[in-house]
Structure formats: C-alpha cells, structure tokens
Structure 1
Amino acid sequence: MSSSPIANTDNRSIEALRAAAARDPKSSVREAAKQFEALFMQEVMKSMRAATMSSGLMENSATQLGTEMLDTQFASKMTGLPGGLSDAITRQLQRQMGITPDKTDKADTAKPAALPTLTRKNIAPHVQEFIQKHDSAAKAASAATGIPASFMIAQAAHESGWGKREIVAKDGTNSFNVFGIKAGANWTGKTVEVKTTEFVDGRAQKVVAKFRAYDSYEAAFKDYGQLLGSNQRYAQVVAQAQQTQQASASTGISSPGGAERFAQGLQKAGYATDPEYASKLARVINTTVRVQRALA
C-alpha cells in the first residue's frame, strides 16, 4: 500500500526544517513550534473524525483523501495564532536553547493578555480588535487635525459596524472606506458603488451611492481628517474636538460631553442623514474611550 501524500509532505517539511535549523537555530525555533502545533491539530482533527459516526454511503478512498487534505488545511489555518500553542512552545524552546526572545515575539504574545480582563468587563473581542487595528492610523490623523483619535476610531466603528460592514466592490475588493465617505463631484480617486440606506424626510430608503475607495486604512483616516479640516461646514465641529483634545492632554481626563458635542456637530453639519446619528455615534465614542482606558 502506498503512503499518504500528506504524510510525504509532512516528512519533506520536517527534513527541510532540520536543514534550516542546522544553519540558523534561532530563526528555526518558531517554525519548529508551528510544525509541532500543525501536527497536533491534525491529530485533533483526526480524532474528531474518528469519533463521528459515518454513514458509509458515498465514501471511498478518494473521499477519505479529500477529507484528510481538508483537515490539513483547517489545521494550518488554526496554527500560529497569537497566544496559541506555538507561542508557548517557542518560548519553551528559546529558554532551553538559551536564546533571548525577539521583541516581536514578546509583543505578539502580550496583545491577547488583556482580552480576558476586557471580556469580564463586557467588552466584546471584536471591539478590542477593531480599536487596536486602527489605533496607529487614528493617532496619525489626530496629530494632523487635533481631533481625538478615539472620536475617529469610534466614527469608523459606527459607520462600518466595527468592521463587519465595510464597503466592498462587486468583485470583493475592499475600499478601506470605514467612514462611509461618498465620492462627490470633486473626488478624483477610486470609487465604489454600493446600495446603502438614506433617510429622506425621516424615512429610510435603499439607494445606490458612489463612495470613495482607498489603498489602505491609513489613507482613509488621512482623507477623513482632511475632509473635516478643509471643509468650512465642519469648522466648528473640528474646533470643539480640538478643545476636547487639549483639555484631555492637560488634565488626563476626557472632557465631559465632548463626545456628544462632536456627534451632534457632525449631524448638524450634514455628515449623515440618520436622525439618530448623533446619539448612536456618541454611544460608540464613549465605548471606545472606555476600551482604550482598559487597554492603557
């Protein structure tokens, strides 16, 4: 009976890993840990399959091979995640070999540490992940405009449903437009047309609108800052946000009512047609500030 092609692939990977370890032990530690975790996950998947009752219908050597390959892909997807088994193995191997952990390794394993604490505070994991994901882009835009980074992240969260409703093209390409900024006559960049909800005379209607598209989230945050900073109708909103930012910087405490004033100012300036936009946005801003304090 011939050996499994999956087993042959694993054998080749292990031999390649041995050769790499002989040349550079330090760089091979993490890869060795991932290989071990992948093998472990494959065994877990195999045990789960064995414990599941099969019908016997439509099953043959070809379907069994397909199942094995699918399980291998699942195992690979679950391997190497931050805070997972491979991280623990990497640290153990590094200690045994007398290798000083890389700074990136420390950062990777440190991020998930705050998650259990935040979960106990009723903060969903996807909320924390969204805030951390856009933190640097928001801070860069804040430095250029004076608008608090927490306000920007919160508005991006509100417009995109914490990243779950991002604007994508028909072919699935991400527009990175987490602020829902429409493409007006003066916009010369890329665009995406999608169906959206607009409020006309207080009633929600589905319409097709053209939105701006960017090459990255950083570009989206930068454009959002430029939009508010260069448009006269947002001048008062920006000024109030800058005052909030300055007060927070000098006292270390967020200005009371700053979130509400910013949200109400955007609604009055016509940023959105939803009559409840200000109250919804203010709640998200307060959530974002609370999470950032917990992460600090």
Structure 2
Amino acid sequence: MITPADNSNSSLAIDTKGIESLKQSARQNSPDSLKAAAKQFEALFMNMIMKSMREATPQEGVFDNQQTKMYTSMLDQQMSQSMANKGIGLAEVLIRQLSVNNAVADTAAMSDERTSATGGNEIGLMQAVQIRDIYGKHSKLAAAYEGEDTTVAAAEIAVSTSGQPAHVQAFQNKLNAHAEEASKTTGIPAKFMLGQAALESGWGKHVMRTPDGGSSHNLFGIKATGGWKGKTVDAVTTEYINGAPQKRVEKFRAYDSYADSFRDYAKLLKNNPRYEKVLANASDVQGFAQGLQRAGYATDPNYAAKLTHIINKNLSA
C-alpha cells in the first residue's frame, strides 16, 4: 500500500488523483499526510516558477511547436517534483505553521469538550490541500505576485514564527531602526510610523519612482511644498475633493535614503504647528490616526480607519 509520503515522491505536482488521495488521508490524522501535502504544494510552487521562466524565454526555434511545448511542460512538472523532494524550505515552513495551528485546534477542542474523532491534524492538512488546490488554478506565478521576484513571492507565502506575514516582517526589519530613531525625536511609537509608511507606500512596494527609474525613498507621501529645496518627483495621486476622489499629478519630495525619509517625516510633525495634537496623542493608536486626519495629513475620509487597522492588525506585537 502506498503511503501519502511515498505518493508525493512519485506523482506529478498536478496529479488530481494525488490531490484526492491527500484529502482522504487528511481524515487519518497522520503527520505523514501533512508532510505530503506540504511537499506537493512546494512542488506546485516550483512548477509555477519554472513556467514563468519558460514564458520569459524566446521560443521561436525550428523545433518549437505545440508538441514540444507539451513535453517540456511534462518535464518541468516532474523536475519540480524532484526539486521539491530535495526541498527549498517552503514545505518545512508550512509544516511548522500548520502543526502549530493543529496544536491550537486540539487544545481548543479539548477545553470545550467537543474533541473531534479526526483530531486537529485534519484541520491543518485540509488547509494545506486547499492552499495547494487554490494555487493550482494559477497558470502564472505573476498572476499572484505581479512584478515581484520569485524569491520574494516565495517568502511572502510563508508566515514568520512571530505570526506576521513575511512581507510585513521584512518591511519592519528593514525600516525599524529608522523608525526607532524618528521615535526618539517625536515621541511617536516606531510601530505607528511603520504603519503609516506601510499605508502610504503599500508596504514599500509602491514607493514613487524618479524619471530614471530610481526610488524616491518617499515612504510617507510628503509633497514638495512649504519651501522644499530638495529633489522632487512627479506622481499621480488621488485627492478627495468634497468627498469625491480625483486623480492629480503632484510634486513630491525625493530623498537619498529611507533614513532621510523618516528624518524629514519626524521634522515635519515636530516643527509644523498643525500636528501639535498628533504628537500629544502619540501614545494611542486611534488618537494618533485620527489626529493625522483632522490635521489634514491626507484627504482620504477613511485615512484614520485604514491606518488604525494596519497598526492593530499587523504591528500590534
């Protein structure tokens, strides 16, 4: 009899029978089944990477046709399975995270005396199988992570041991030192500023670009007004006029580094009288966010609610 672990070594990454077998084995409360599902997901992820690489490669040779493409696709699937068996670390992360979820589910079930006969491992395994099914519907890695490097996409699928999504932890790790420095100047907690930088820049993915394609390092969407003498960049922004969104091209400040961006943000809040109440309420998330909105930092009527949500959900630890 073929065990789930053995099946993951021999089947293709998109084998529908293999998926059904994993679903059935989920009801057996087996750690091997969880490992098999995670391995299959890793194989599928590798296959998506290879497909993206193939599509980025010119295919206009004499021997390129529909038949060769079909066999190349089959080869890529099997190679993905083989690479996943050796492992790139994604399966281990999934197993570790889902195992934690299983333990929590088991504890909760025991505490209210409604323990299921199948146990918590079915919950974790079914999550893994569902994730595998969902990603199996995507033909391109770029469909899920548009414009991102595949290594970045792999990191974002994982969840860090602190419970934060990996892109949130990476953003925090990259900018926390600058936020802490600005916190000393303003008294605003570092995580509040990180939350605002995340809201304004889309976790660093949508920082405005200079004409030559470089980064403006403007994390806070600060415009080039108030006698700004430094570098600038033009960008399209959404402004709310009488509650209605309008697209405009505005001039924004450009910096040489993210450290400069945090320093200028701290200077703006500390030296501009309109933000006095913001600094006075800097210890409270909601007071800080609402203070920024009342002071006119942004015209979005939902700015305070969005900022509060980001800080509380992603940076509350």
TM-score, normalised on structure 2?
0.51
Aligned equivalent of 2:246: 205
State the Cα deviation string for residues 223-274 of structure 1 (Å, max 9, x = none).
Answer: 0000000000101111211xx2xxxxxxxxxxxxx11110000000000000
Aligned equivalent of 1:232: 273
Aligned equivalent of 1:146: 187
The separation in 1 between residues aligned to 2:160 and 2:314, in whole angstroms, is 17
Q: Are residue 58 (structure 1) and residue 90 (structure 2) matched? A: no
State the Cα deviation string for residues 149-201 of structure 1 (Å, max 9, x = none).
Answer: 01110000000011111111232110000100000041011000011111111
RMSD: 3.1
The separation in 2 between residues aligned to 1:179 and 1:59, in whole angstroms, is 52
1:127 deviation in Å?
1.1
Aligned equivalent of 2:106: none
Aligned equivalent of 2:298: 272
Over 3 Å counting, the alpha-carbon distance change for 1:191 and 1:57 in structure 2 is closer
The separation in 2 between residues aligned to 1:281 and 1:134, in whole angstroms, is 17
| Partner amino acid, structure 1, of 2:161 | T
The separation in 2 between residues aligned to 1:153 and 1:129, in whole angstroms, is 12
Contact 1:153 1:288 in 2 (8 A): no
Query: What's the % identity of the aligned pairs?
Result: 50
State the Cα deviation string for residues 188-217 of structure 1 (Å, max 9, x = none).
Answer: 110000111111111111100000000000
SS in 2 for 1:204: strand
Unaligned runs of 5+ in 2: 1-45, 65-87, 90-155
Over 3 Å counting, the alpha-carbon distance change for 1:57 and 1:173 in structure 2 is closer
Aligned equivalent of 1:159: 200
Q: Are residue 178 (structure 1) and residue 182 (structure 2) matched? A: no
1:58 deviation in Å?
3.0
1:57 deviation in Å?
3.9
The separation in 2 between residues aligned to 1:214 and 1:180, in whole angstroms, is 12
SS in 1 for 2:238: strand
State the Cα deviation string for residues 16-65 of structure 1 (Å, max 9, x = none).
Answer: xxxxxxxxxxxxxxxxxxxxxxxxxxxx99xx79xx9xx994359xxxxx
Contact 1:131 1:288 in 2 (8 A): no
Over 3 Å counting, the alpha-carbon distance change for 1:116 and 1:145 in structure 2 is closer
State the Cα deviation string for residues 121-159 of structure 1 (Å, max 9, x = none).
Answer: 4x3211111111100000011111111101110000000
Contact 2:178 2:262 in 1 (8 A): yes
SS in 1 for 2:307: helix
Contact 1:150 1:288 in 2 (8 A): no
Over 3 Å counting, the alpha-carbon distance change for 1:117 and 1:58 in structure 2 is same
Contact 1:197 1:207 in 2 (8 A): yes
Q: Are residue 289 (structure 1) and residue 293 (structure 2) matched? A: no
Over 3 Å counting, the alpha-carbon distance change for 1:234 and 1:185 in structure 2 is closer
1:250-261 alignment to 2 at 5 Å? Answer: 258-261=284-287
Q: What number of residue pairs does the alignment pair up?
A: 177
The separation in 2 between residues aligned to 1:164 and 1:191, in whole angstroms, is 19
Contact 2:255 2:261 in 1 (8 A): yes
Aligned equivalent of 2:172: 131
The separation in 2 between residues aligned to 1:263 and 1:134, in whole angstroms, is 20
SS in 2 for 1:260: helix
SS in 2 for 1:199: strand
1:81-100 alignment to 2 at 5 Å? Answer: none
Unaligned runs of 5+ in 1: 1-43, 61-82, 85-111, 245-257
1:12-31 alignment to 2 at 5 Å? Answer: none
Aligned equivalent of 2:262: 221
Contact 2:160 2:169 in 1 (8 A): no
